[in-house]
Amino acid sequence: MVRAQPYGWRGSSGDLYDYEVLPLGTRIHDTLGNYIFARRNECGRWDAIYVGQGRLTGDLSTHFLGKEIRDKAATHIHFRENPVESARLIEMADIMEGNPETYAPEGCNPPPVGAAAPESGSVDLASMAMWRLR
């Protein structure tokens, strides 16, 4: 069995969120929470490719953006249990705003509504839902 490693993701608020890290393909027990598909960059730091929330499985084959995430060379899933949806959505937006590499075209999350660059503005969850349906 693969042992999860700890990692802290910082949001734009300055809050630090403690995640567990596992290689892609590792089964995660079925629970609700936040997750980040990531890869190491040339400096050895983690780059977020996609930040999401919902049911945790770690299975890219069933994720609606699985192909896109795999095409961006994700190697690991970072996850943390979080049963409260409103808290998951706030955390997800905070981490995305603090890690702009997660926004398209570099990553797979939609850019903030009306933003010319990922750093300007917050995530509009309704627009994210529509982007997901494309």
Confidence class of residue 94 from pLDDT cuts 50, 70 and 90? very high
Give the global pTM: 0.81
Q: Looking at residue 15, what is its pLDDT?
A: 97
| pLDDT single digits (tens) 63-81 | 778 778 889 999 999 999 9
Host H or E run for residue 21: strand 16-23
d(CA 94, CA 66): 22
Q: Looking at residue 38, what is its pLDDT?
A: 96
Token digits of residue 54: 């919902």
Q: Name which of 10, 18, 12, 14 is nearest 78 in CA terms.
A: 18
If one counts every other C-beta atom within 10 angstroms of the C-beta of residue 7, the result is 16
Which residues lie closer than 8 Å to 41 by C-beta, 6 or more apart?
Answer: 47
| pLDDT single digits (tens) 20-59 | 999 988 888 888 999 999 999 999 999 999 999 998 876 6
Phi, psi angle pair for 70, to nearest 5°? -65, -40
Residue 16 has pLDDT above 90, yes or no: yes
